[in-house]
Amino acid sequence: MPSVLMTRLPGRVVLNPSDLPEWLDGLARMLVEIHAAEAQPIRWNYFTYNEVSRLSVPQWSRVPEAWRRIIDRVQGPVPSYVPQFIHRDYHPANVLWQEGAISGVVDWANACMGPTGIDTGHCRLNLVQMYGVEAADAFLDNYLAQARREGCDVNDPYWDMLCLIEMLPGPPEVYQGWPDLGLNGLTPELLARRLDEYAERLIRKLDTSATER
């Protein structure tokens, strides 16, 4: 009988957790474990899905200046990093839970060698749209508190920006998998507001990190 890995693994996707802070901590903890794995290098390497050199400020945004600065940054120098094994599509809909704990991570089709900041950034991009900027920030704080391996400064807003521009040109749309898995109430307008708020948050973080150097 045809099946996919999720058919065989115990657990289910949880997008309406009863305890959001604990759930976010679990997501971060699992990603720390993935990045800490002593995996042998594989032949697939990370690349962006969007052509960075051809980006333009989205017309749907209410904060075009923030997006302009984000585009300027991702078109600039890439921070140094040591390539590590990354999932490349780590987000809540690819994580299975059973009895309050993670039982599996699925959809490894895009796994490759690359900067770990892409995994944290991609998950944060999903969390921003699903739950808001505060949830995404809590996830990153939890990850940073537990990370055991160096090689990429995932707190550098560059990586979040590089993931954020994958939304362009837009406008944003609700991923059908979210309502299918029980996360209702999302609209394109809400996603656009949250992405704009996130863009502004990242610019503030960029400015703060620049003054601290």
Residue 213 pLDDT grade (very low, low, confident, very high; cuts 50, 70, 90): low
C-alpha to C-alpha distance for 192 and 187, rounded to whole angstroms: 9
Which one is predicted more confidently, 149 or 99? 99
Residue 7 pLDDT grade (very low, low, confident, very high; cuts 50, 70, 90): low
**Mean pLDDT, the chain, whole residue set:** 95
Backbone Cα Rg of the chain: 17
Determine contact, residues 24/139, Cβ cutoff 8 Å: yes
Residue 3 pLDDT grade (very low, low, confident, very high; cuts 50, 70, 90): very low
Report pLDDT for 150: 82
- Domain range for 117 is 5-212
C-alpha to C-alpha distance for 206 and 177, rounded to whole angstroms: 32
Domain count, the chain: 1
In 3-state terms, what secondary structure has residue 190? Answer: helix
- CATH code for the domain in which residue 190 is found: 3.90.1200.10
The answer to whether the Cα torsion of 100, 104, 109, 113 is positive or negative is positive
| The pLDDT of residue 102 is above 80 | yes
C-alpha to C-alpha distance for 185 and 188, rounded to whole angstroms: 10
Contacts 24+ apart (CB under 8 A), 17-25: 20/131, 20/135, 21/138, 22/100, 24/127, 24/135, 24/138, 24/139, 24/142, 25/142
**Residue 78, CB half-sphere, CA atoms under 13 Å: how many?**
13
Residue 135 pLDDT grade (very low, low, confident, very high; cuts 50, 70, 90): very high
| CA distances in angstroms from 166 to 89, 172, 203, listed in the order given | 12, 10, 17
Determine contact, residues 70/76, Cβ cutoff 8 Å: no
